Structure 1
């Protein structure tokens, strides 16, 4: 049977797809374990924590501090590397929610086994040990810079039939996801790496080996005036060089000639200056701004 023609059993019927341990298919509202997991998650900003976890997973895969790469959609990023974002995300999610790595699946939430799955495509590979178990399934659309997640019990009757891939993993039927899962949050944007806002010419000059770091950092802050620059971006521009953060701090005098003030979120007074311009700086964020006379800070 083709994947597009899978006829699903409905909640209340018996899950019999390829297994002798028959049980009743449960709708989310009737699934006590699912409700316990949802109650636990309500204490968290799930969308926000997942946004940060995905961003960290992408940074890990790109390894900008060593490779100088900053765009997961660039042609020099292998498709396998893009796919590996999902594998890394599992550990970032556990860390973000302070969850243990605990068998039989990836973790336990409210004492309930839960598997954590993510895809940069349109479906998830559900392993045999997670069949009929609760899964948090995350879809990441890299090209559109967004993500969303569901909690779903991946009943065998709701997985595409057949032996699956070589590891026995099978995909979740779209209708089951749409009808009998619980959305944890709707489409949520991923952070934009400010380096992707540069033109090809600007990027080539900033990422070149010459001139030195300070001149290239000054170019970056000029071109990205008003944009928050995370520490990871500074490490990427200074890839393979010694102490890029110190070099970045030294560009203040270069920027002052253009009327720009470099602010660092490490300092509370500089956070306040940024906040006056409706910019929220984290403790490892930077921004170049044109401040009013008397506001400039030497930091």
Structure 2
């Protein structure tokens, strides 16, 4: 440390990780394994895959269909639950990229061991087995609904010194991240749960136990007209009840009285109607729109 700052060894110097024997610190362009993994990743839509994987991980942790929760930053979400998003994300990423789960690190890419790390804070906990190994490090900013990732060789010389935590994990120095890693993609937006757009008063009405589901779904689509509503949101509002999707389908006539047309992405003709309004619906998405004419019959 110098003046309160960590002084790092530079590429070309000897790494302090004697467990692996003497080896040089290398910058990304001189690291053949890093370049091989990077080449493999760049053939894929990594930002898109990570966006979906993070959204799935957040939904898994919130478990809205049972708990009615929809905001990971809510006080009723324990900090430990927020931190567990990273653990779930590892498996989502492996599944999305078609990668095997291996040991001692998380996977292998082009026969190179790679660890997958994510944080909802400002740094990653690099375990002892990943020191001097390749890591994909993802930073998730929940407050700004965005994420970014790097590929980095987590040399021990570039980790904060000391014993680390009880598992021997250490954080990656910001200078190493900024100068000796490769960005896989820059800040990328995460899907925003439409329920977070409700006012506190609106949310209390939509998520109340009474009145029944159909009245609350009607209020939700009225409040959020024009916003795409994923199936997970339907499940959250109908938490603890049987078949909330059927209840949502039943409110078309009620919404029509308010001049709203309810479209469901399950039906191609309704996806086309939404597309004409510059709205993309997935197979399990819904949207209430103000538009002329009635949608084709959807059953």
User: Which category describes the TM-score, using the shorter chain as reference length?
Assistant: over 0.9
What does residue 279 of structure 1 align with? 279
TM-score, length basis structure 2:
0.97
Q: Are residue 48 (structure 1) and residue 48 (structure 2) matched?
A: yes
What does residue 237 of structure 1 align with? 237
* Structure 1 residues 4 and 120: alpha-carbon distance in aligned structure 2, compared to 1, 3 A threshold: farther
Task: Judge which range, 266-275 or 11-20, deviates more.
Answer: 11-20
- 3-state DSSP of counterpart to 1:152: strand
What does residue 298 of structure 1 align with? 297
- 3-state DSSP of counterpart to 2:117: strand
- 3-state DSSP of counterpart to 1:170: coil
* Structure 1 residues 247 and 27: alpha-carbon distance in aligned structure 2, compared to 1, 3 A threshold: same
* Structure 1 residues 20 and 265: alpha-carbon distance in aligned structure 2, compared to 1, 3 A threshold: closer
Gaps of 5+ in 1: none
**Structure 1 residue 291 displacement after superposition:** 2.0
Q: Matches of residues 1-299 of structure 1 in structure 2 within 5 Å?
A: 1=1, 5-17=5-17, 19=19, 21-293=21-293, 295-299=294-298
TM-score, length basis structure 1:
0.97
Partners of 2:296 and 2:177 in 1: CA distance: 53
* Structure 1 residues 179 and 250: alpha-carbon distance in aligned structure 2, compared to 1, 3 A threshold: same
Q: Give the RMSD, CA atoms, in angstroms.
A: 1.3
Cα deviation digits, residues 170-198 of structure 1 (max 9, x gap): 11111000000000011111110000000
Alignment check: 8 A CA contact 2:270 2:295 kept: no
* Structure 1 residues 182 and 4: alpha-carbon distance in aligned structure 2, compared to 1, 3 A threshold: farther
**Structure 1 residue 134 displacement after superposition:** 0.1
Gaps of 5+ in 2: none
Task: Judge which range, 11-20 or 268-277, deviates more.
Answer: 11-20
- 3-state DSSP of counterpart to 1:210: coil
* Aligned pairs, number: 298
